């Protein structure tokens, strides 16, 4: 099916993510993808100038307000281009020293307003994770496809997605939506879904969204299972149900996802994705 | 030396070939850097030239294609790394993927901080470190060295005991170093400091060999003190970037990805041709650089400095400063 929109699916995803990021939040876009990098940069340049942003895996603390994106969007999480926006560095293992929530325990997550005036650098309001597979419970797999320690397809490895156990909101983003990737149960677990985080008493909330080129799931279903939260413009519930390996039901919060506004697209294209890496994929 | 002269400080300047000659089959080695930056490539190439095998290789928390190359060349028996790839250049390393699927290498399944916890335990002389990340995932099922245990505080929480991970040698690429083995990164330091602390011996490749006085100007920058060997290696991270000096060579990396693409299907001709041309062929690092060519190398320097000095913006920075 062809959906002709004047923006690409990667641009739509970046705009959607940027809208979920609020001024004063903290965000780590660790392992690199062009979508999550652009989303964070777009948010900081548009409505979240106080976004405390760790861009890239090796601990660059970046602010892009008033700074150009010279030479295009970074290609890896240690791209030298990131350094031009950095205000601070730390060694990569120290990343994890920045993940203890203020107040300790669950307080930060349950009474976040109490911490609204903090300028501290707890870096885990938002975190992006990609996956080979994601399932109904929000478990994410970067290890591989297969069983019993064997692999028909070996994945890249779990990176740090199982380590950031204090994350308030994890975006699971999938760059394709089909029944091989959206499954009832993942083959291997790199990080658990939200019910697993609660069961294991992790401080953070873990995955709160699954975002694909077609639409968005939340975890408002029974036992924190996936529910369809919205469709990206040009896509239908039938299309998503056909491409998903678990039963698709609407979230009680199901709502229309507005298309990118002309202002969002202009800022994204003129000041963030200056070489058009998101645009070149075209619509899906 | 006369009998009453005070002994002098030991100088540790060496070569990539000498460093690689210190490694033998079956050893454990660490390769520093991060994805597409700061890998000690002259040493990596010499290790392959020596035809070493049966190595346990510890990569960085986001290991790049330097590890993929070692796997493809048949040097690796066991891999300790939570990722092997090059992000937008290659989401997964081709040789890594093929070797894992065919069970040609053993993988010590981990995540970033599980790796660091093991290295840190070794660096501190402990048997293990406790870490909660990875609890509830498949990682402890796939890696039986990791032991799930209940918190001794009695709060009902589970932890992983991550046993100490050490290495015979650690190899790194830094900005500059002196003859005594004081090494300084220029820019990001990745996970190199913890990786180096877990190695019994450390060798650093450095873009520049500098006088000791240069190190003393800013001792806080000394990231790896007392390296056992220092190897002067300008452009020593090529085809990857060296922070503070030059950008990665995207074309070369792409050529490697293309050459290794057939590896998984059993067609290893293109990969062998890459090895012949770029690894085993050139007699040493200087010859390698000659083969890359001065134009390409200067271009990578310019690409780096153009962005880091703000030359891409005709108006300069908005506040008029670099």
ipTM of the complex: 0.95
**B154/A contact by beta carbon, under 8 A:** no
Residue B225 clears pLDDT 70, i.e. is over it: yes
State phi, psi for B251 to the nearest 5 degrees: -65, -40
Report which of residues A115 and A259 the model is more confident about. A259
Q: Which of A188, A181, A121, A136 is nearest to A161 (CA)?
A: A188
Strand partners of residue A230:
A216
Residue B312 clears pLDDT 60, i.e. is over it: no
Residue B252 clears pLDDT 80, i.e. is over it: yes
Alpha helices in chain B (DSSP H): 16-21, 41-49, 65-72, 94-101, 112-124, 139-142, 192-197, 212-216, 250-261, 269-274, 285-292, 294-308
Residue B321 clears pLDDT 50, i.e. is over it: no
Segment (H or E) for B57: strand B55-58
Mean pLDDT in chain A? 92
pLDDT attached to residue B317 = 39
Mutate to test the interface with A, among B32, B60, B63, B88 (most CBs of A within 10 A): B88
pLDDT more than 90, % of chain B: 91
For B173-224, the pLDDT digits (tens) are: 999 999 999 999 998 999 999 999 999 999 999 999 999 999 999 999 999 9
Q: Which of A78, A13, A29, A25 is nearest to A52 (CA)?
A: A25
For A203-246, the pLDDT digits (tens) are: 999 999 999 999 999 999 999 999 999 999 999 999 999 999 99
Task: Give contacts of A 208-247 with B, CB under 8 A.
Answer: none
Mutate to test the interface with B, among A87, A162, A224, A273 (most CBs of B within 10 A): A162
Instruction: Domain ranges for chain B, please list them.
Output: 13-110+166-308, 128-163
Residue B301 clears pLDDT 80, i.e. is over it: yes
CA distance A57 to A93: 10
CB A140 within 8 A of CB A161: yes
Segment (H or E) for A7: none
Cα of A162 to nearest chain B Cα, Å:
5
CA distance A207 to A202: 12
What do you get for the CA distance between the two ends of chain B, in Å?
A: 51
Report which of residues B24 and B187 the model is more confident about. B24
**B129/A contact by beta carbon, under 8 A:** no
Q: Which residues of A touch B133 (CB under 8 A)?
A: 160, 162-165
**B257/A contact by beta carbon, under 8 A:** no
Instruction: Report the CATH architecture of A9-102+119-123+257-284.
Output: 3-Layer(aba) Sandwich (3.40)
Residue B310 clears pLDDT 80, i.e. is over it: no
CA distance A203 to A159: 20
Mean pLDDT of B254-262: 97
CA distance B226 to B201: 10
Band of residue A124 on the pLDDT scale cut at 50, 70, 90: confident
CA distance B246 to A118: 38
Mutate to test the interface with B, among A158, A159, A164, A187 (most CBs of B within 10 A): A158
Span(s) in chain A for CATH 3.40.1080.10: 9-102+119-123+257-284, 126-253
Residue A254 clears pLDDT 80, i.e. is over it: yes
Contact B87 A201 (CB under 8 A): no
For A32-82, the pLDDT digits (tens) are: 689 999 999 999 999 999 999 998 777 788 999 999 887 788 888 888 888
For B26-62, the pLDDT digits (tens) are: 999 999 999 999 999 999 999 999 999 999 999 999 9
pLDDT more than 70, % of chain A: 96
Which residue is associated with the tokens 């929000």? A138
Cα of B46 to nearest chain A Cα, Å:
25
Mean pLDDT of A260-264: 97
Mean pLDDT in chain B? 94
Band of residue A99 on the pLDDT scale cut at 50, 70, 90: confident
Torsion angle defined by CA atoms of residues A258, A264, A266 and A269, in that order, rounded to the nearest 10 degrees: -100
Mean pLDDT of A105-124: 83
CATH 3.40.50.2300: does it fit domain B13-110+166-308? no
Domain A126-253: CATH superfamily, name plus number:
Glutaconate Coenzyme A-transferase (3.40.1080.10)
pLDDT attached to residue B309 = 63
CB B114 within 8 A of CB B82: yes
What are the contacts of B42-45 at 24+ separation with CB within 8 A? B42/B16, B42/B205, B42/B231, B42/B233, B42/B236, B42/B284, B42/B285, B42/B288, B43/B16, B43/B19, B43/B171, B43/B203, B43/B205, B43/B231, B44/B69, B44/B70, B44/B171, B45/B16, B45/B278, B45/B279, B45/B282, B45/B285, B45/B288
pTM of the model: 0.95
Contact A160 B156 (CB under 8 A): no
Mean pLDDT of A114-133: 86
Cα of A255 to nearest chain B Cα, Å:
32
Among the partner residues A78, A81, A153, nearest to B307 by beta-carbon distance: A81
């Amino acid at each position: 099916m062809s959906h002709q929109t004047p923006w690409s699916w990667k641009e739509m995803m970046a705009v959607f993510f940027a809208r979920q990021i609020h001024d004063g939040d903290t965000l780590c876009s660790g392992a690199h993808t062009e979508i999550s990098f652009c989303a964070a940069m777009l948010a900081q340049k548009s409505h979240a100038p106080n976004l405390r942003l760790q861009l890239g895996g090796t601990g660059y603390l970046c602010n892009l307000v008033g700074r150009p994106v010279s030479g295009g969007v970074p290609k890896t999480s240690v791209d030298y281009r990131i350094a031009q926006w950095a205000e601070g560095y730390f060694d990569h293992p120290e990343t994890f020293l920045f993940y203890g929530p203020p107040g300790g325990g669950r307080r930060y997550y349950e009474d976040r307003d109490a911490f609204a005036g903090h300028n501290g650098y707890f870096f885990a309001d938002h975190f992006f994770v990609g996956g080979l597979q994601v399932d109904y419970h929000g478990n994410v797999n970067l290890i591989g496809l297969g069983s019993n320690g064997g692999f028909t397809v070996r994945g890249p490895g779990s990176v740090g997605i199982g380590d950031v156990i204090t994350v308030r909101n994890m975006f699971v983003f999938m760059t394709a939506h089909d029944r091989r990737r959206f499954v009832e149960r993942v083959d291997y677990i790199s990080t658990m879904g939200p019910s697993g985080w609660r069961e294991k008493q992790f401080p953070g909330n873990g995955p709160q969204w699954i975002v694909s080129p077609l639409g968005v799931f939340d975890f408002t279903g029974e036992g924190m299972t996936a529910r369809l939260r919205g469709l990206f413009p040009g896509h239908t519930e039938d299309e998503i149900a056909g491409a998903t390996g678990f039963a698709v039901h609407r979230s009680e919060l199901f709502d229309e996802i507005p298309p990118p506004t002309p202002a969002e697209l202009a800022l994204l294209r003129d000041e963030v994705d200056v070489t058009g890496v998101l645009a070149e994929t075209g619509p899906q | 030396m006369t009998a009453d002269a005070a002994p002098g400080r030991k100088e540790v300047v060496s070569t990539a070939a000498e460093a690689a000659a210190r490694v033998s089959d079956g050893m454990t080695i660490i390769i520093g850097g991060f994805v597409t930056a700061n890998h000690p490539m002259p040493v990596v190439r010499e290790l392959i030239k020596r035809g070493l095998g049966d190595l346990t290789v510890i990569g960085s928390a986001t290991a790049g294609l330097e590890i993929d190359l070692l796997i493809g060349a048949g040097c690796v028996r066991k891999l300790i790394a939570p990722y092997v790839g090059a992000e937008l250049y290659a989401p997964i390393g081709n040789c890594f993927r093929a070797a894992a699927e065919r069970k040609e290498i053993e993988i010590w399944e981990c995540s970033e901080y599980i790796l660091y916890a093991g290295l840190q335990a070794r660096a501190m002389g402990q048997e293990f470190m406790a870490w909660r990340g990875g609890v509830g995932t498949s990682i402890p099922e796939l890696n039986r060295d990791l032991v799930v245990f209940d918190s001794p505080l009695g709060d009902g929480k589970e932890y992983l005991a991550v046993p100490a991970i050490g290495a015979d040698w650690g190899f790194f690429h830094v900005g500059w170093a002196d003859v005594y083995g004081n090494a300084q990164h220029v820019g990001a330091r990745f996970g190199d400091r913890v990786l180096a602390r877990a190695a019994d011996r450390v060798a650093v490749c450095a873009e520049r060999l500098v006088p000791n006085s240069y190190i003393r100007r800013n001792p806080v920058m000394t990231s790896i003190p007392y390296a056992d060997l220092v190897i002067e290696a300008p452009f020593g991270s090529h085809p990857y970037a060296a922070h503070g000096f030059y950008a990665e060579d995207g074309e070369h990396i792409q050529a490697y990805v293309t050459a290794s693409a057939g590896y998984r299907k059993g067609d290893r001709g293109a990969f062998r041709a890459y090895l012949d041309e770029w690894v085993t062929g050139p007699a040493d690092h200087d010859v390698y650089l000659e083969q890359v060519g001065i134009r390409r190398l200067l271009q990578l320097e310019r690409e780096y400095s153009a962005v880091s000095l703000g030359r891409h913006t005709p108006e300069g920075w908005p506040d008029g400063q670099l």
